[in-house]
């Protein structure tokens, strides 16, 4: 993050949605909307000459999709965090979003508070999915069959913990929910990351998508 404010750029092929997002961010002292565009190419031109911390982009645009824009941004401006927005989605798109290097994905029906929370989270280096998206991912995890579970060597307890990790519960909170010690949770967590060869929540979700677990 540069200076005292998060510099934000908005891309959407509908001006009314750009104006709506900008209006929602007004009055937030730590945010500064430094630019906006109806086209991904114009956004890339802006990034070439200006400092941007967070790029908000529509997912489905005619000239350049949000995924294509994210790929270009992460290749040429890797320090920029990208938050995708859409009015609808298919859970299968999560694979492409994570693979492109997305930092977050939110549904346009969210309120102002969640938009602000999402921007704060990705600015800190975390991943953020709208609650609707997170719930869909968790439902997909729950629907995995026994063969898949055996194939990926995750125990029932580990799958429980994966779901709670995805909901951003701390080790202490998970321990209370499952009536086990915090040290046991920590051990399970290490085993989950080791078995899936991941180190972060982002990596864990990406692994699950790539192996058709969700």
Residue span of the structural domain in which 70 resides: 6-130
Q: Is residue 137 one of the residues assigned to a domain?
A: no
Percent of the chain residues past pLDDT 70, beyond the cut: 84
In a domain, 1, yes or no: no
| Residue where a domain stops, chosen among 85, 105, 130 | 130
What value does the mean pLDDT take over residues 39-47? 94
Q: Is residue 115 part of a domain?
A: yes
Please indicate, yes or no, whether residues 150 and 74 belong to a single structural domain of this protein. Answer: no
Does 61 map to a domain? yes
* Phi and psi torsions of 53, nearest 5°: -95, -45
Q: Specify if 201 maps to a domain.
A: yes
pLDDT at residue number 147: 42
- Three-class SS string for the chain? CCCCCEEEEEECCCHHHHHHHHHHHCCCCCEEEEEEECCHHHHHHHHHHCCCCEEEEECCCCCCCHHHHHHHHHHHCCCCEEEEEECCCCCCHHHHHHHHCCCEEEECCCCHHHHHHHHHHHHCCCCEECHHHHHHHHHHHHCCCHHHHHHCCCCHHHHHHHHHHHCCCCHHHHHHHHCCCHHHHHHHHHHHHHHHCCCCHHHHHHHHHHCCCC
Per the model's pLDDT, the better-predicted residue between 78 and 203 turns out to be: 78
Instruction: Convert the pLDDT of each residue in 165-180 to its tens digit.
Output: 877 788 899 999 998 9
State whether 116 and 11 are in the same domain: yes
User: Which CATH number is 187's domain given?
Assistant: 1.10.10.10
**Mean pLDDT of all residues in 18-37:** 93
My answer on whether 117 and 149 are in the same domain is no
If pLDDT is split at 50, 70 and 90, which confidence band does 62 have? confident
Reported pTM: 0.65
Is residue 188 in a domain? yes
Do residues 13 and 105 share a domain? yes
Per-residue pLDDT, averaged over 121-129, amounts to: 89
Given pLDDT bands bounded at 50, 70 and 90, which one contains residue 151? very low
- The number of distinct structural domains making up the chain is 2
Tokens matching residue 186: 């920590």
Q: Residue 16 pLDDT more than 80?
A: yes
């Amino acid at each position: 993050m540069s200076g005292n404010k998060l510099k934000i750029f908005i891309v959407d092929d509908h001006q009314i949605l750009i104006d709506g997002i900008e209006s929602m961010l007004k009055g937030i002292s730590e945010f500064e909307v430094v630019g906006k565009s109806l086209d991904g190419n114009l956004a890339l031109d802006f990034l070439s000459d200006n400092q941007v911390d967070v790029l908000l982009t529509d997912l489905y645009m005619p000239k350049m999709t949000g995924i294509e824009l994210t790929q270009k941004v992460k290749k040429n401006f890797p320090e920029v965090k990208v938050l995708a927005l859409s009015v609808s989605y298919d859970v299968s798109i999560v694979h492409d979003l994570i693979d492109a290097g997305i930092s977050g994905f939110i549904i346009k029906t969210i309120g102002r508070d969640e938009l602000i929370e999402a921007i704060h989270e990705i600015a800190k280096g975390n991943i953020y999915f709208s609650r609707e998206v997170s719930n869909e991912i968790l439902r997909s995890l729950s629907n995995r069959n026994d063969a898949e579970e055996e194939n990926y060597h995750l125990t029932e307890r580990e799958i429980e913990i994966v779901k709670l990790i995805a909901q951003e519960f701390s080790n202490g909170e998970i321990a209370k929910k499952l009536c086990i010690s915090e040290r046991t949770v920590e051990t399970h967590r290490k085993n989950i990351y080791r078995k899936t060869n991941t180190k972060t929540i982002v990596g864990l979700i990406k692994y699950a998508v790539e192996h058709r677990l969700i």
